[in-house]
Structure 1
Amino acid sequence: MANPLEHLSFNHIDSATVGTIVYPPGGKYGPRIQQDIQLVLLHTGSMEVTIDGVLFRLEPGNVALLKPGHIEHFTFADEQDSWHRWVAISVQLLSVDEVKALEQVPFSLPISEHLNRITDLMLSIRSEHADTGPVMRSLGLTAIQLFLTELSKAQLQQDIHPSVLRAKAYIHQEFKEGLDLTMIAAHAGVSDEHLVRLFRKYEQTTPIKYVWHYRVLRAIELLAHTGLSISEIAQRSGFQTSYHFARLVKQQTGKTPSEIRTSSWGKGDSHAE
């Protein structure tokens, strides 16, 4: 698939926004008219999006591309929280050819480690850089272009290997527990060594590194949206010690858990996604 936005440059981006939110069971949002080119990264729960009357379903561990000009309505899982993050760019008027090509882009694909990291970075610096600033605009454009590049690669590879999808689903469900490579591989239906090879091919990381990255993501969400103590958040996120928790959070985000909490509570999200 050709990249429909290959000629879209930094100068075409008016602003870029990023956010994170948890919807309780049975949550709904919309209808709304989509204004931006937006990525929605779903980490837990489920999401049904009705776009111009057509129903699409997004499973955890996948990212959807929402396109401007469409009427959207969101319905979330009935029995559990649905946590998602988003990256959106506001662009100047697209050409007719760009709009037509963008409409042909498939709805979703699995979230990659690279896309997770860009979203992490945007969330960690949003309090220091305005939505219209060059850093956020550049990162927002990079995230959208990365999605389109990964989509092309996934189509060439005939989709992500099902064992990787099974492994990621198991990790998302059991991340609080003491997971090891053998347990994850068993649920994925492959050997330890083969699962490592598959993760390196499709996720550009290893299964265990993916586990720790996901634990940090969940911990950041608890830091931002709950009043739980840092030690309790560490325990709920699968960390054995607060020291290990703090070290990985700092390594992944550049901030301490306390700094993340202060930043999140000091500046609420301006979007309702």
Structure 2
Amino acid sequence: MPSGVEKLTGINVRTSTLVHFGEAHYLAGGSCGPRTQQEFQLVLMMTGSAKVLVDGEMIIVRERQCAAMYPGKVEFWQFSPDLPVRHTWVALKLAAISEDRLRRIELSPRLAPVTNRLLSIVELGLGTSLSGSTERWLEALAVSAVECFLLDSTTKVASEPPDAVRGALRYMEAHLQESFDLAVLAASVGMSAQHLTRMFRQHLGDSPMHYLWRLRAERGATLLEETSLRVSEISHRTGFQSPSHFSRLIQSVYGLSPRELRISSRQDGPDRLRGVLP
């Protein structure tokens, strides 16, 4: 079944013969699917949330939750309507999973909290340089992630981030074109800059201003891919200090210049992601 992808702004994938690790960023209101799941997949919702229709059953995956997806199921992912989404995943072909572990998976809950140890394993997979010698390493990491999920699935599922963090994210979205600093952002939700930074790091794993610049880069990448606007106009619309500042950050995040990113997206389109995205 073909897979449709809406409002995707960035992707990073590490693949071996039997497993792959990935990370994707979506703007608010993005979606993926419908698609038939081919592997066993753990999806870690790092920011935002998703409503997932799996063979007609609705599952809600909240921020800092990990969801197990099973092969042969038809999925449709609808991401947060009001917040950008970042999620990571690890997927394994059944040949990479022992029979004993498969039986335990069948008995486990579908959702578990995203613990620091599970997050560390997935980040190691995403940070691995691809070469023939890394296949067994990636496969070992993937199996470790599954084992971690099985251990963590009996733990109470993590809650959504507090209202202050969600309010700050909404402020970022509404004022993306404007220039503002951490003090202004913190004041918008009625707390100190230090307290807001601590809450962001605790719940989103990032500082507020670093998150803001990543969000601006994602919005800029979407405009490059979906419009013919000049780089100078896109940089202005997304709150960058100059076109050169915008170009440097796009190069840093995506490994491509704005021109290269625009050409690549129009040559490949969403089909380049088929069979990879959750």
SS in 2 for 1:243: helix
Q: Is the 8 A contact 2:113 2:157 kept in 1?
A: no
* Cα pair 1:89 1:140 within 8 Å, conserved: no
Cα distance, 1:227 vs. partner? 3.2
Give the SS at the match of 1:240.
coil
Q: Distance in 2 between matches of 1:243 and 1:11?
A: 33
Find the counterpart in structure 1 of residue 52 from structure 2.
Answer: 49
Q: For 1:271 and 1:215, how far apart are their aligned partners in 2?
A: 26
Partner of 2:262: 261
| 1:39 maps onto 2:40 in alignment | no
Per-residue deviation, 1:213 = 1.5
- In the alignment of these two chains, the number of paired residues is 245
| Unaligned residue ranges in structure 2 (runs of 5+) | 1-13
**Residue 5 (structure 1) aligns with:** none
Displacement of 1:271 after TM fit? 1.0
Query: Contact conserved, 2:113 with 2:158, CA < 8 A, in 1?
Result: no
Identity %: 23
**Runs (5+) with no aligned partner, structure 1:** 1-9
What are the Cα deviations for residues 98-141 of structure 1, in whole angstroms up to 9, with x where unaligned?
3324743516769xxx89x96xx78xx9xxx79x9958x94995
- 1:186 matched residue in structure 2: 187
Superposed, which structure 2 residues align to 1:108-257 within 5 Å?
134=134, 138=138, 145=145, 159=159, 161-162=161-162, 163-257=164-258
Give the TM-score normalised by the residue count of structure 1.
Answer: 0.62
Q: 1:89 to 1:165 in 2, by over 3 A?
A: same
For 1:74 and 1:258, locate their aligned partners in 2 and report how far apart those are by CA, in whole Å.
32
For residues 244 and 23 of structure 2, the distance between their equivalents in structure 1, rounded to whole angstroms, comes to 27
Structure 1 CA distance for aligned equivalents of residues 100 and 174 of structure 2 = 42
Bigger mean CA deviation after superposition, 206-215 or 177-186: 177-186
User: In the superposition, relative to structure 1, how do residues 62 and 19 fare at CA in structure 2: closer, same or farther (>3 Å)?
Assistant: same
Which one-letter code corresponds to 1:67 in the other structure? M
1:14 aligns with 2:15: no
The structural deviation recorded for 1:208 is 1.0
AA at the equivalent of 1:104: P
Match of 2:111 in 1: 106
Q: CA RMSD in A?
A: 5.0
CA distance in 2, matches of 1:69, 1:39: 14
